[in-house]
Amino acid sequence: MATISSTCFLFLPIIIIIITLSSSSLFPTTLCATVLQDLKNLHPPPDFNTTIINNCLKNPSLRYCTSSPTINLDEIFKYSIVASHLCNESNNPNCVESFPKIDLRNRPNIASLYLSFTFFWKYCPLSVLSIDFSNNSIKGSFPNDVLYCTQIQSLDLSINEFSGDIPIQSFSPLTNLTFLNLSYNCFSESELSESQFFKKFNSSSFLHSGALFDHKRFTIKAIILLVGFPVFVILMVIFLGWVCFQRPDFLPTMFQRSMKFTPAILKAATFGYSNENLVGKSDIIHIYKGVLRDGTKVKIEMYLNEISRDSYHKFVEECIILCELQHKNLVKVLGWCKGRKFRAIITEWTKEENVEMWLLELAPSWNHRVKVLMGVVDCMLYLQEEWPEVDYDLKTNSILLSDKKEPLISRFQVGDKNNNSRKICNFGVFVLEMILNKKVQEEFDGSDTEYISYIRTLHHAELHQMIDERMNVTETTLHQIKQVLSLGLMCIDQSSSEQPSLDQIFNIVSRAYKASLVLPSANHKILHGDRVKGHKRVQFK
């Protein structure tokens, strides 16, 4: 049945046209308007009940005779009006005696209107054997009302815009139907060849109708759907699994476990472990530079040696602790990774300049050196208070420098809680290296113990001779340098009770640091007697 909306749509233009072209030459529209007018104005004559009864006596097979429970005279009268118009409209030769065809081919203006008269179709005249509504661009679902005319032999609904399902079951009473054309419509896909009824028609009745007539094609589509869908689901599951387990960095941030990296992430970050990204290599350690998906530059230290399951658990536990560390003078550990043949620690990427190179090549001023010492002590204090189990390396070649010339402790690990004395001793050596001439230490070929014993044999005066003169030492700085130097000496004295506590170290170094801040920057010598006051405001914060 054509939808109500399309019917209303048709009424509107018709009424407008009647007003503008009242004595119109536009034949079909006028006729159409006549139907509606007749339906409105004409009423059954008083003896219509008698006429109907007589008709039924003469021809009991008439549809309206069998309609139950009571005959609706008004509907039957409207039906007869529509029937007479439609018969004439369909160019039947003699509408008084016979009404063999409903032919509204190529009549888009009126076709929908006639389709909408349900009361007509309900009493569809038995004389009608052929119905043609083709080429009318009618929209809507299949016009089920037409199927009230069960006696028809021919039905043509081709070249319209019918959509939805073809009511396959409703066709079965149309036993005399020999011609059917549903071509060029937009029906939804359904397999007609399944139904016994449609077997007598061939595919030319369903060209471009949307319905599938060809059994094979339907089967193929069904198979594609039946096989394709599970395959699709499986692929989705595999894909999601891959994302979750291999590339969690593709997940929304809230689902990411940021500390655990997968081998696939590392592979992507290093462009497949490319040689350009390999920045350091030994037998068991490979160090790569990488870029994560969010743009973070990272250093990836890969350990290729085999370790036992227990050691691996220990490794993970340690990594979890290292990831917790948060200090501006500590290289940030971002996470770890376990691959089949390696484990790796991922840290933020830092410039490779270390304090040793810096001292050697740039001969920094005392101000800069004491700032580095301050940073290191600050970090040591943080670790002692929050993470006493974390051990670190204070060698000048392992402490890096940030862009802002802040020291960055880059080698650390979870170790022994009770080695504060050694940590402080190491700091002492670091202090000496920061202050004294490099040449002295080089003679000991990296052996700290020998270096320490040698230093301890020296007198203060001798030591002062060894202060790195490239600092451009002045009267004022010299005092501070000497103070810090003696602090260093106290620190390396591991045996005696003279070794200061970290708090004491912190106090001394901060004092030196604060004093250095009020000094004019750079390597300017201050003339003796210059007052420092004028600079005082600068950097105390």
Ligand X SMILES: *[C@@H]1O[C@H](CO)[C@@H](O)[C@H](O)[C@H]1NC(C)=O
| Closer residue to ligand X (CB): 152 or 379 | 152
One-letter amino acid at 526 equals I
Smallest separation (angstroms) from ligand X to the CB of 166: 15
Of the two residues 205 and 480, which places its CB atom closer to ligand X in the complex? Answer: 205
Residue type at position 469 = E
> What are the residues binding ligand X (CB under 6 A)?
49-50, 53, 84, 88, 106, 135, 150-151, 158-159, 175-176, 181, 183-184, 202, 204-205, 207
To the nearest whole angstrom, how small is the minimum distance from the Cβ of residue 192 to ligand X?
Answer: 14
Complex with ligand X: residue 96 or 254, whichever CB lies closer: 96
User: Least distance in Å: CB of 84 to ligand X?
Assistant: 6
- What are the DSSP calls for 390-421, one per residue? EEE---TTTEEE-TT--EEE--EEE--SS-HH
Task: Annotate 431-453 with three-state secondary structure.
Answer: HHHHHECHHHHHCCCCCHHHHHH
Work out how close the CB of 242 gets to ligand X at its nearest, in angstroms, rounded to a whole number: 50
Q: 108-115 and 4-20 helices cross at what angle (nearest 10)?
A: 130
CB of 63 to ligand X, least distance (A): 11
Nearer to ligand X among residue 106 and residue 421 (C-beta): 106
Would you say 177 or 463 has its CB closer to ligand X? Answer: 177
CB-side neighbour CA atoms (13 Å) of 389: 10
For residue 83, CA distances in Å to 68, 86, 330, 412 come to: 21, 5, 96, 99
Rounded least distance, CB 48 to ligand X, Å? 8
| Helix, strand counts (H, E) of the chain | 18, 17
Q: What angle do CA 222, 189, 6 make, to 5 degrees?
A: 165
Q: How far is the CB of 92 from ligand X (least distance, A)?
A: 9
CB 208, min distance to ligand X, A:
9
- Nearest distance, CB of residue 221 and ligand X, angstroms: 21
Q: Which is nearer to ligand X, 103 or 249 (CB)?
A: 103
Angle value at C-alpha 68, between 63 and 72, nearest 5 degrees? 80
Minimum CB–partner distance for residue 161 and ligand X (Å): 13
How far is 315 from 309, CA to CA, in rounded Å?
10
Sign of CA dihedral 310, 316, 318, 320: negative
Least separation, in Å, of the C-beta of 103 and ligand X? 12
The upper half-sphere exposure of residue 244, i.e. CA atoms within 13 Å in the direction of its Cβ, equals: 6
Taking CA 376 as the corner, what is the angle to CA 362 and CA 439, rounded to the nearest 5 degrees? 40
Per DSSP, 467 falls in state B
- CA 288 distance to own-chain centroid: 29
Nearer to ligand X, 201 or 349 (CB): 201
Radius of gyration of the chain measured on its C-alpha atoms = 49
Closest approach of Cβ 204 to ligand X, in Å?
4
- The residues, any chain, with a CB within 8 Å of residue 221's CB and separated by 6 or more, are 189, 212
The residue among 116 and 205 lying less far from ligand X, judged by its C-beta, is 205
Distances (CA, A) of 318 to 339, 345, 410: 17, 11, 15
Nearer to ligand X (CB atom), residue 105 or residue 482: 105
Q: What angle do CA 72, 73, 75 make, to 5 degrees?
A: 70
Between 16 and 53, name the residue whose CB sits nearer to ligand X: 53
Question: What is the C-alpha to C-alpha distance for residues 153 and 174, in angstroms, rounded to an integer?
Answer: 8
**150 versus 402: smaller Cβ distance to ligand X:** 150
Helix (H, G, I), strand (E, B) or coil at 124: coil
CB nearer to ligand X: give 89 or 468.
89
Task: Specify whether the CB–CB gap between 192 and 217 falls below 8 A.
Answer: no
Task: Kindly tell me which of 106 and 305 has the beta carbon lying closer to ligand X.
Answer: 106
Nearest alpha carbon to residue 521 among 464, 488, 466, 477:
477
Least distance (Å) between residue 118 CB and ligand X: 20
**106's tokens:** 């190529």
